[in-house]
Amino acid sequence: MKIAIVGLGTVGSGVAQILTTHKARTAARTGTNIDIVHAVVRDLKKPRDCDLPSSIVTDDLAVLNDPAIDTVVELIGGTTIARDVVLTALKNGKNVVTANKALLCVHGDEVFRTARELGRTVCFEAAVAGGVPIIEAVGQSLASNQVTSLEGILNGTCNFILTEMFLKEKTYNDAVRLAQEKGYAEADPTMDVAGTDAAQKLTVLVRLAFGLRISTDDFLVKGIDSLTLTDLQQAAHLGYRVKLLCTAKLHGDKLELHCQPTFIRREQPLADVDDAYNMIELHGDAVGKTWFSGMGAGQMPTASAVVADIISLAVGRAQLTFPRLTLLEESTGITILPKEEIQRRFYLRFSALDKPGTLSRIANVLGEHKISISSLIQHDETLGPPTPSTDDESYVPMVIITHLATEGQMLAADKDLAKLKCLAPPHVRLPIRD
Ligand SMILES: NC(=O)c1ccc[n+]([C@@H]2O[C@H](COP(=O)([O-])OP(=O)(O)OC[C@H]3O[C@@H](n4cnc5c(N)ncnc54)[C@H](OP(=O)(O)O)[C@@H]3O)[C@@H](O)[C@H]2O)c1
């Protein structure tokens, strides 16, 4: 098997390391030698984290037309050049391995359709949850099931930041800085902390598990960038941990979909996933609940998944299963539950004027929207001290836990609460996973 790797950055050089260091092991498992015949980079002068002969490293994408190549491994990222590389490879008769969730989220239709039409295969295990074999699990190992719910911590960077904030009492900015120093977060961490990266991974999983072609604009996506230590500590005080949670849950033929920071009960496995680890809790109608966990990113965990895809192509397994995956379903009968109808309990935190009548005003607004209060916490040491204001009135932190309410009710209440003069920012609202 002759492959070309496009991109020798973090993941690409990890793939090259495995294939060169463990050539005999890979050959024994596939019954064939896997040779890297071309590796394409942007800057030929950059030092590389792998030992490939300089004769095969090039900055010329035209080498991908080499008829000797069986498989193109796309590891450059992004949605423009990567799209060209993948589509050209398929049209030239090559199979493709990619770790690029952004590409599959934005151009998945075109990529999968082109591959199907041309009888080629696209493998993408590394695109979701790095080293955790969730694509294989959903597409193959659990093929006898209808997935009924899928909830996951899919962004290791966010999970690392939240862990550092909670366990080490760091501010959000300090935790982001540490994530950057450790190589978990990019110089511009927006894609991770705004929830976009996790939401893109959710679209890939939803497509595979429910045959639904969606974009990140089709559902509620919120990041961790406005969370404070106070909320994480308050969650713990109430018996929860806060995680950036992606959810896809079937209610009949409606799919509840969202990606947002969520309170998770401390005794639940998802609450116990720290650092840069990912976890997916998946419920199938036959198997019941299953959990998949491991490193969601990083050089070798991601390379592990990429090389597994290459091996799967080498033995011919991927070519058999790819045509049957539910990636191009025209109609499964499943539609997205409108976000206004999603029902949860909520955690609300306000800065409230410390005067008689404040509580009744808040309760009135919630009552007008038929939201009932389950519990209320005020003047609690975990919430911090009151904030004095210039006119000698102080604002005290207040937490309310609601009973079940819909997102629609809460959105309407948010607007009316924002008009109350007895409340000052912040106005935090986080869903609770029961
Ligand atoms: N890093 C992770 O932990 C991780 C985890 C899961 C999935 N992924 C996905 O894996 C893919 C690669 O990520 P990465 O972290 O390895 O990225 P990276 O470190 O930035 O590496 C990108 C590589 O692509 C090369 N490249 C970029 N544009 C190119 C062009 N026009 N022509 C030729 N080569 C080009 C770069 O060349 P130069 O080195 O010469 O600049 C570099 O070698 C992305 O889709 C990412 O989402 C990454």
CA distance 325 to 140: 8
Mind listing the pLDDT tens digit for each residue in 191-233? 999 999 999 999 999 999 999 999 999 999 999 999 999 999 9
CA distance 101 to 97: 12
Judge whether 287 lies within some domain: yes
- Residue 277 has what pLDDT? 97
| Structural domain count, the chain | 3
- Chain-centre distance of CA 89, in angstroms? 27
Mind listing the pLDDT tens digit for each residue in 86-101? 999 999 999 999 999 9
Q: Percent of the chain scored above 70 by pLDDT? A: 97
- For ligand 1, whether the C-beta of 179 sits within 6 Å is no
What ligand 1 atom has the least distance to the C-alpha of 100? 45
Please give the residue range of the domain that contains residue 417.
Answer: 339-433
CA 125, 129, 135, 136 torsion-angle sign: positive
Mind listing the pLDDT tens digit for each residue in 385-398? 666 665 667 888 89
Measured in Å, residue 68 CA sits from the centre of ligand 1 at 24
- Residue 410 has what pLDDT? 98
The closest residue, in CA terms, to atom 47 on ligand 1 is 100
Q: Which of 2, 46, 170, 201 is catalytic?
A: 201
Tell me which long-range contacts 111-115 makes (C-beta under 8 A, separation of at least 24).
111/83, 111/86, 111/87, 112/327, 112/328, 113/328, 114/87, 114/90, 115/90, 115/322
Site to probe by mutation for ligand 1, drawn from 45, 74, 76 as the one with most ligand atoms within 8 Å of Cβ, is: 76
- For ligand 1, whether the C-beta of 7 sits within 6 Å is yes
- Please report, for the chain, how many H helices and E strands are present, in that order: 14, 19
- Residue 386 has what pLDDT? 67
Q: Provide the pairing of β-strand 335-336 with 254-265.
A: parallel
| Nearest CA among 63, 94, 72 for reference residue 55 | 63
Single-letter amino acid, residue 423: L
The closest residue, in CA terms, to atom 39 on ligand 1 is 9
- For ligand 1, whether the C-beta of 155 sits within 6 Å is no
| Tokens 């969202």 sit on residue | 258
Residues 138 and 279 occupy one common structural domain: yes
Measured in Å, residue 12 CA sits from the centre of ligand 1 at 7
Measured in Å, residue 116 CA sits from the centre of ligand 1 at 26
Residues 240 and 386 occupy one common structural domain: no
Q: Which CATH number do you get for residue 30?
A: 3.40.50.720
Residues 141 and 99 occupy one common structural domain: no
Residues 106 and 207 occupy one common structural domain: no
Measured in Å, residue 9 CA sits from the centre of ligand 1 at 5
- For ligand 1, whether the C-beta of 77 sits within 6 Å is yes
Residues 176 and 232 occupy one common structural domain: yes
Mind listing the pLDDT tens digit for each residue in 319-332? 999 999 988 777 78
Judge whether 389 lies within some domain: yes
Mind listing the pLDDT tens digit for each residue in 335-356? 999 999 999 999 999 999 989 9
- pLDDT of residue 379 exceeding 90, the answer is no
Q: What is the pTM of this model?
A: 0.95
Mind listing the pLDDT tens digit for each residue in 411-433? 999 999 999 999 998 899 999 99
Measured in Å, residue 99 CA sits from the centre of ligand 1 at 9
Paired strand residues for 149: 249, 283
- Residue 392 has what pLDDT? 63
* Secondary structure (3-state) at 425: strand
CA distance 161 to 194: 13
| Tokens 């599959």 sit on residue | 104
Final residue of a structural domain among 309, 336, 363: 336
What ligand 1 atom has the least distance to the C-alpha of 156? 3
Judge whether 416 lies within some domain: yes
Final residue of a structural domain among 77, 102, 127: 127
- For ligand 1, whether the C-beta of 39 sits within 6 Å is no
Final residue of a structural domain among 336, 367, 395: 336
382 — pLDDT class (breaks 50, 70, 90): low
- For ligand 1, whether the C-beta of 58 sits within 6 Å is no
Q: Which CATH number do you get for residue 414?
A: 3.30.70.260
- pLDDT of residue 178 exceeding 70, the answer is yes
Residues 188 and 267 occupy one common structural domain: yes
- For ligand 1, whether the C-beta of 312 sits within 6 Å is no
CB 336 within 8 A of CB 255: yes
- For ligand 1, whether the C-beta of 75 sits within 6 Å is yes
Mind listing the pLDDT tens digit for each residue in 16-44? 999 999 999 999 999 999 999 999 999 99
- Residue 394 has what pLDDT? 85
- pLDDT of residue 371 exceeding 70, the answer is yes
- Per-residue H/E/C for 110-170: HHHHHHHHHCCCEECHHHCCCCCCHHHHHHHHCCCCCEEEEEEECCHHHHHHHHHHHHHCC
Measured in Å, residue 76 CA sits from the centre of ligand 1 at 4
Is residue 201 among the annotated active site residues? yes
Residues 15 and 120 occupy one common structural domain: yes
Mind listing the pLDDT tens digit for each residue in 230-289? 999 999 999 999 999 999 999 999 999 999 999 999 999 999 999 999 999 999 999 999
